[in-house]
Amino acid sequence: MNLNDKKNHDFLVAPFGKFVLIYFPDGVKYFKITPNNEYIQPSNEEKLELDKVFVKKIDSFDSFYKYHQNLSIEDLIKANPELPNDKDFINLVNHIEKIIPDGCKENLYRNLSTLKILYNQPDVPGVASYNGKYNTISFATNQEETLKRTLRLETIDAQTAAYHLSSTLFHEILHMASSFYDEKTGIYYSGLSTINLGEDAIHSSRAINEGVTAMIEHHFYPECLRNTGYLEEICIAGHLNSIVGLDNILKTYFSAKGIEPIKNELYGLGVDRELIDILFPRVEINYITKEERVTSPNTALANLETTLIDCSEAKLRQMIDNGKITTEEELNNHLMVIQPNVLTTDKAPFFRRGIENCLNMNEVDEWLENLKKNIHQHYHARTKNESLANSNLTKDDFLSMISQEPIIEELSQVEPNIEVELGRSR
C-alpha cells in the first residue's frame, strides 16, 4: 500500500513528528518513520506513549480527520525538530492555517510535520525557495545582499530586511501548505500548478500559481508590493479572482488540485471552452517573456489581457441572462471590481519590463471600453459609457488599489502584523 497516496480514501495519514497515525477501516495503527522514509512498527514503549497522546477509539474516517484538525499548529511545530520553535514562526503559520478553507488543510498538516528550513544555502534562486520533492525551504547565503539585488535597492535597513524576509518565508510556506509530491508517479502538485519531475520536467500553470501565492502574501505584507517581481502575476490572479471568486481559487490552491477545477468553474460561468483553452497557455507565455527577459517586442501581455477581458464579459453576460444582475448599480459594481486588475497602458510603466517591448497595449484599453459598452448594451440599459479609467493614475494609486482590494472575509479579518527573525544557521 502506498501510504502517500492521498487519493485513496480508505485510510488517512496523520503525521506527528517521527511517527504517523494511520486510520484504516479496522482501526488506527501507529508507524515510525525511519531516516529512509520507511514505515516500521514502533516499540511497545513508544506505542504506550502515543496512546497517552491520542484518542484510542476513533470510529470513523471523519472523526479521525476532525481530531487531526484539532491538533494545534504549535503542537505540530514543536514535534518537528527541524523548525524554529518560537512564537513568531508559530504565529506566521497560524495565520496561514486560518485562511485555508475547511477540508483543505491536509497538505499543511502533512508537510509541516517533516518540513526543513535551511539557511545559508548556495545556488538558491532569489532570497528563498521551496522544494516540494524534499519538503525543504532554503534561504540563500548573504541574505542582505540578495534582498538588495532582488528588490533593486542600494541599501536596506534591518527593519525593512526583516519585513521582507518574513514576507518571503510566508510566501514559501504558502507553497508548502499547497503542495503534494507523489513519489510513485514523480508528479509534484503545487497549488494550481502540476510539475512532472521526470525526464521532460514539464511544469504547467506555474505563472498563475505564483500569482495566487503572491496575491495572498501581499495582502498580509502590502509594503512588499512596491518591489515585488510578481506585480503582473498578482494582477492576473486578481482578475481571475474577480471572475471565479477567491473562495474557489483558495480551495483548489490549497488542495493542490491543479488548474482543471478553475477551468471547469470558468466553463460553468459561461466562458467558452475554446477561450479557456487559450487563456492559461497565454498566462504562461507572458510569464516566460518576462522571466526570460525577452527584449524583442511582442504581444504576449496584450493577448493575455484581452483574453481575460473576454472571460469577464462572458461571465457578466450569463449573470445578466440568469437574473443575477438586476440593476445598473450592480452592473457597474461588477465592472469596478474588474478594473483595477486589468493591465491597461496607464499601468504598464510600473512593471519591470519596458513598455516598449509590449506591443498592442492600446488594444487592451479598447477591449476594456468595449467590454463596458457591450455589457451595458446587453443589459438593455443606457449605452453611455462612463469611463472607469484614471488618466492621471500614479504608481501609489495603483498599488493602493491592489492592496485595498477587498478579498474574502476570512482574509480581511486577519491582522498582517507578522515579524520573523531569520538568518540563523544550523
pLDDT for 34 equals 76
Residue 43, domain extent = 1-71
Residues 334, 278 share a domain: yes
Q: Which residue has the higher pLDDT, 103 or 94?
A: 94
pLDDT for 389 equals 45
Look at residues 201, 224, 255 and tell me which one is the last residue of a structural domain: 255
Query: Is residue 140 a part of any domain in this protein?
Result: yes
- How is residue 267 written as a grid cell? 466553463
Residues 347, 225 share a domain: no
Query: Is residue 362 a part of any domain in this protein?
Result: yes
| 180-203 confidence digits (pLDDT tens) | 988 888 888 999 999 887 655 556
pTM score, whole prediction: 0.77
Q: Which residue has the higher pLDDT, 53 or 129?
A: 129
| 6-22 confidence digits (pLDDT tens) | 433 334 455 555 666 66
Look at residues 49, 71, 93 and tell me which one is the last residue of a structural domain: 71
Residues 309, 167 share a domain: no
CA-CA distance, 51 to 103, in Å (whole number)?
26
- Confidence band for 405, pLDDT divided at 50, 70 and 90: low
Query: Is residue 379 a part of any domain in this protein?
Result: yes
CA-CA distance, 328 to 316, in Å (whole number)?
13
Query: Is residue 320 a part of any domain in this protein?
Result: yes
pLDDT for 140 equals 92
pLDDT for 58 equals 46
Average pLDDT over residues 38-62: 63
pLDDT for 401 equals 72
pLDDT for 225 equals 86
- What rounded mean pLDDT belongs to the chain? 81
pLDDT at 253 over 80: yes
Closest C-alpha to 145, from 155, 136, 135: 155
Residues 245, 112 share a domain: yes
Query: Is residue 420 a part of any domain in this protein?
Result: no
| 332-358 confidence digits (pLDDT tens) | 999 999 998 999 988 877 776 666 778
Q: Which residues contact 166 (CB under 8 A, 6 or more apart)?
A: 92, 221, 418, 419, 420, 422
Residues 242, 119 share a domain: yes
pLDDT at 168 over 90: yes
pLDDT for 384 equals 38
Closest C-alpha to 372, from 334, 408, 344: 334
pLDDT at 383 over 50: no
Residues 367, 237 share a domain: no
pLDDT at 417 over 90: no
Average pLDDT over residues 93-121: 90
pLDDT for 425 equals 42
Residues 340, 210 share a domain: no
Average pLDDT over residues 241-261: 94
- How is residue 405 written as a grid cell? 482590494
Residues 344, 281 share a domain: yes
Average pLDDT over residues 375-392: 57
Look at residues 71, 89, 108 and tell me which one is the last residue of a structural domain: 71
pLDDT for 61 equals 45
Residues 56, 143 share a domain: no
**Cα 349 vs. chain centroid, distance in angstroms?**
25
pLDDT for 64 equals 52
Q: Are 267 and 248 in contact (CB under 8 A)?
A: no
Query: Is residue 209 a part of any domain in this protein?
Result: yes
pLDDT for 3 equals 41
pLDDT for 1 equals 36
pLDDT at 65 over 70: no
Residues 8, 128 share a domain: no
Average pLDDT over residues 359-381: 89
Report the percentage of the chain scoring pLDDT > 90.
Answer: 42
Beta strands across the sheet bearing 136-140: 116-121, 136-140, 128-131
Beta strands across the sheet bearing 203-204: 179-182, 187-190, 193-196, 203-204
Q: Which residues contact 18 (CB under 8 A, 6 or more apart)?
A: 32, 33
pLDDT at 420 over 70: no
Average pLDDT over residues 302-329: 93
Residues 157, 191 share a domain: yes
pLDDT at 406 over 80: no
Residues 131, 81 share a domain: yes
Query: Is residue 396 a part of any domain in this protein?
Result: no
- The DSSP line for 12-26 is EEEEETTEEEEEETT
CA-CA distance, 252 to 211, in Å (whole number)?
14
Structural domain tally of the chain? 3
Query: Is residue 138 a part of any domain in this protein?
Result: yes
pLDDT for 16 equals 53
pLDDT at 138 over 90: yes
Closest C-alpha to 309, from 375, 252, 399, 383: 375
SS3 129: strand
Average pLDDT over residues 98-107: 88
